[in-house]
Chain A
């Protein structure tokens, strides 16, 4: 009843669910928590893919996901939010209800454009790729629909989770060098973005990116 392909797809579906939950989040600490759980499910997905395709590099990739995305980045983001003491709520350009509706449309769109022959049999699990595509598009949507810089970073990280999921489902594991490079890139990116947030906060008194076009005297 529970074969391994279905299990991979099930875990991938949880990654998608947490991406949708991300757009419904009202608070920064909740968003970080959701990102952390989403990365945990991503790590499990990659691990099971490793068992399925018997590829040792995928185990390492899964471990790296766990170490960097479940522990290190959320820890760092929490530290940043504490330091600049973000008490404000998430300010959206598009309100929560409409964001969730648009996210639903995005998900259906992602499944619609990848149906048919496009999903060839080379894939590890057929329905993981549309799921990953939906996560990528939702990440982009979070980046453009939120005003706060820190939520835009979380949108970027969600997008990155989607890309990793898509890449592993298509290619049966990236080469190890590329893998480590990508993880390092994301980690450094998150740290630099955190420093940048701190700078934005000190010079503009707000994380609202729409206020950055105001002239400062």
Chain B
């Protein structure tokens, strides 16, 4: 902890922290477009261009906001709270080096529950505008979120126990140093549990379809159905960022290779080239983890809503097994 505080005083560490946030913000729309592109290619279509995500955001930002007459002040500031909460939780996250911007003030549990704040305000936004779809989407989303959260915490505790800390930078450094295969069974089951909850939390296909606006099935889209203009842009951007946060967590926990551990020790010999190398490696890892999502989406049908708890229960049981196997 002392070392981290010293690092904080280091100007370079702060610079790296800011660079990490910028990288997350920059590649978030790209990853979403990348997943869509792979899905299109697998379907035999040409697909939208890879930079469509940025164009969508810019188009939406330029448009004006239309609010319902029944909307209260919540609708006016909820989009900002959602976006900022995702952004703050991104600040807790060490991306390609262990110098997270806010690592001195919060650990991995703070990260999870800061995202939870965003989920809460998005649900409020859905119910606020007196549209029947909004409330429907909110209730579904809260059900999914409340069932996915214990699994996420158990997966995190699995790795917190193995590395004996909840500080997210320390967890990542330890995993990168010791390798991930000290507990292979635990590792596989935690990976699968994390896959299940990432799909559930981000509203990807077996749980929710991000592409359709079919009233019977939509969850995330139902909540932001009334959103327009820059409010919608903020919601879209937060969902892109949420996906990239989950992918970053997965890629640093489950594929701990690369120059991650090397950077904090060589801060004195701060080299620009190392940083660039680390960033390139990080983006490669993100693409590796984004590809299976596209394959799952193309090969599975959306689950009936009342079967989603079964799906999440599978993730819960897998995470419990992976947690308990550590102590056996």
List chain A positions with a Cβ less than 8 A from chain B.
1-3, 6-7, 9-10, 12-14, 16-17, 20-21, 24, 26, 96-97, 100-101, 103-104, 107-108, 111-112, 115, 127, 131
A126 to chain B: closest CB distance in Å? 11
Q: Which residues of A contact B309 (CB under 8 A)?
A: 97
Contact of B184 among A6, A100, A103 (CB under 8 A): A6
Could you say which of B310, B317, B318, B324 has the most chain A C-beta atoms within 10 Å of its C-beta?
Answer: B317
In the complex, A21→B328 CA distance in Å? Answer: 22
B317 touches A104 (CB 8 A): yes
Indicate whether B55 reaches chain A with its CB closer than 8 angstroms. Answer: no
Asked if A13 and B318 sit within 8 Å, CB to CB, the answer is no
Contacts of A100 in B (CB 8 A): 310, 313-314, 317
B179 and A9 contacting across the interface, CB-CB below 8 Å: no
Min Cβ gap A162→B in Å is 14
A142–B156 Cα gap in the complex (Å)? 30
Interface size for chain B: under 10, 10 to 19, 20 to 34, or 35 or more residues? Answer: 20 to 34
B321 and A104 form a contact (CB under 8 A) = yes
Which residues does chain A contribute within 8 Å of B179, judged by CB atoms? 1-2
A115 touches B188 (CB 8 A): no
Bound: A21/B314 CA distance, A: 8
Chain B interfacial positions (CB closer than 8 Å to A): 179-181, 184-185, 187-189, 192, 307, 309-311, 313-314, 317-318, 320-321, 324-325, 328
Are A1 and B181 CB-contacts (below 8 A) given A17-B188, A21-B314, A111-B328?
A: yes
| Interfacial chain B residues near A2, Cβ < 8 Å | 179, 181
A7, A101, A112: which contacts B328 (Cβ < 8 A)? Answer: A112
Please give, as numbers and ranges, the residues of chain B lying within 8 Å of A20 by CB-CB distance: 189, 314, 317-318, 321
- Please, how many angstroms separate the alpha-carbon atoms of A9 and B188 in the complex? 10
* Interface of B: prevailing SS: helix
Q: How far is the CA of A26 from the CA of B308 in the complex (A)?
A: 12
Given A10-B181, A115-B328, does the pair A26, B314 have CB atoms closer than 8 Å? no
Q: B residues within 8 A CB of A103?
A: 317
Please name the residue on chain B nearest to A9 by beta carbon.
B184
- Give the chain B neighbours of A14 by CB distance below 8 A: 188
Residue contact A13 to B185, C-beta cutoff 8 Å? yes
Which residues from chain B contact A10 at a C-beta distance below 8 Å? 181, 184, 187-188
* Smallest CB separation, A13 vs chain B (Å): 4
Complex: chain A residue closest to B320, CB-CB? A104
Q: Which of A3, A13, A24, A101 makes the CB contact (< 8 A) with B187?
A: A13
Across the two chains, which residue of chain A brings its CB closest to B313?
A97
Cα distance A127–B328 in the bound complex, in angstroms? 11
CA distance A26 to B303 in the complex (A): 11
A-B contact sample (14 more), CB < 8 A, given A1-B179, A13-B187: A6-B184, A9-B184, A9-B185, A13-B184, A14-B188, A17-B318, A20-B317, A20-B321, A97-B309, A100-B314, A104-B318, A104-B320, A115-B328, A131-B185
Docked CA distance A26–B188 (Å): 23
Please, which residues of chain B bring their CB within 8 A of the CB of A13?
Answer: 184-185, 187-189
Give Cα distance in the complex from A7 to B188, angstroms.
Answer: 11
Question: Cβ of A101 and Cβ of B317 under 8 Å apart?
Answer: yes
Closest A residue, CB atoms, query B183: A127
30 pairs, A vs B, C-beta closer than 8 Å: A1-B179, A1-B180, A1-B181, A6-B181, A9-B185, A10-B188, A13-B184, A13-B188, A13-B189, A16-B185, A17-B189, A17-B192, A17-B318, A20-B189, A20-B321, A21-B314, A26-B307, A97-B309, A100-B313, A103-B317, A104-B317, A104-B318, A104-B320, A104-B321, A107-B321, A108-B321, A108-B328, A111-B325, A127-B184, A131-B185
Q: Which residue of A lies closest to B314 (CB)?
A: A24
Contact A108 B324 (CB under 8 A): yes
**Which one of A12, A96, A111, A112 lies within 8 Å of B310 (CB-CB)?**
A96
Nearest chain-A residue to B309 (Cβ)?
A97
Which residues on the B side are within 8 Å of A9 (C-beta)?
181, 184-185
Residue of A9, A10, A107 ringed by the most chain B CB atoms within 10 A: A107
Residues of B within 8 A of A3 (CB): 181
The 3 closest A-B pairs by CB, nearest first: A13-B188, A1-B179, A6-B181
Closest-by-CB residue of B relative to A95 is B310
When distances are taken between beta carbons in the complex, the residues of chain B under 8 Å from A17 are 188-189, 192, 318
